[in-house]
Chains A and B, each alone.
Chain A
């Protein structure tokens, strides 16, 4: 299964980016093979609005079935939900650690947005 972790850098040693919509990068990892690649999210950093929606589409296009991040707003959550992608919030530390936590079932699946949306 492919999972997608919001990241401040381009590899597994990077820190998890607590923001979803305005995360610097996404690290897409195949949980079976361990293969990882980085997907840029830069175009969203300056978005006036709706960054989470665009980021969710980017994630959906990678084929990931789960997202691991710090916080997720309502519009991003709605979009990810519509794409059938599970959301796990409250993650911090390195991307590698977040991946291990996910595999070990230590992360809790979010049932809704955990932060307010932005205008």
Chain B
């Protein structure tokens, strides 16, 4: 089973939930897809066994073969190529790596090289497989790195996969959540939490992925989440109480099962409920 942990709003407790779930599930791989701000490793201190750089393809032009026809520039939707006086300027950071220019170049003057977008790493943490990646500073595009990381994690062949997703509801979140059997939306009982839960819930619905809600910091704000879920027929899978000791533990990289061991059974039961729901649905 593949479970994505998403939220819309940042800082609601995605990583907390992802780490706890990966701990209570057998044969599990945890993939930290928040490549812009990866933090799950702080709670797991994994032993990294592999490090691998990730690239996207970019055009490399052979000036000797280039006739200056301008076709590459014409087909590029991202305006990453400029053709001037029989030479081509490539703006690497605008390139999306689609390969359209390579196909369009009749004299075959364009081959492909790589642009470094980040670094992936993986290894073991307390028996589970752990994968994460860091987006290179100054690199705008995170989705290709997330895709590459998920592909690498597939090779671990674990029975279960937990995807710790980036915040928001745009392309990085969609890339991270895609392919999941189920999505857990972690939120908090505040107007911001509610507003962004609504966005995230619509996004996963559009993607055709069943979802449920974990209400974190229950009791900190008001009852807006319970009311929203009731009105929209959404399940609250679990409520994690608002406790200062959880936040204090989080501050130093202590996972929630160590701050509140009594939650372990609740997480296990939740997995069971999700599993049964998927098998019967």
Contacts from A to B (Cβ < 8 Å): 47-51, 53-54, 56-57, 60, 75, 78-79, 82-84, 119
Contact = CB atoms under 8 A, between A and B. Distances in A.
A50 B84 contact: no
B82 A79 contact: yes
Given A54-B82, A57-B82, A82-B82, 12 more contacts: A48-B78, A50-B79, A50-B94, A53-B80, A53-B82, A54-B79, A57-B83, A60-B85, A79-B82, A83-B84, A84-B85, A119-B140
B89 A51 contact: no
B94 A49 contact: yes
**Chain A interface mostly:** helix
A79 B79 contact: no
A74 B70 CA distance: 22
B87 interface: yes
A53 B140 contact: no
A82 B87 contact: yes
Contacts of A75: 91, 94
B80 A50 contact: yes
B78 to A, nearest CB: 6
The bracket for how many chain B residues form the interface is 10 to 19
A49 B94 CA distance: 7
26 contacts: A47-B79, A48-B78, A49-B78, A49-B79, A49-B94, A50-B78, A50-B79, A50-B80, A51-B79, A53-B82, A53-B91, A53-B94, A54-B73, A54-B79, A57-B70, A57-B82, A57-B83, A60-B84, A75-B91, A79-B84, A79-B89, A82-B82, A82-B87, A82-B89, A84-B85, A119-B140
Contacts of B85: 60, 83-84
B91 A82 contact: no
**Which has the most chain B C-beta neighbours within 10 Å: A48, A50, A60?**
A50
B179 to A, nearest CB: 27
B211 to A, nearest CB: 30
A47 B84 CA distance: 20
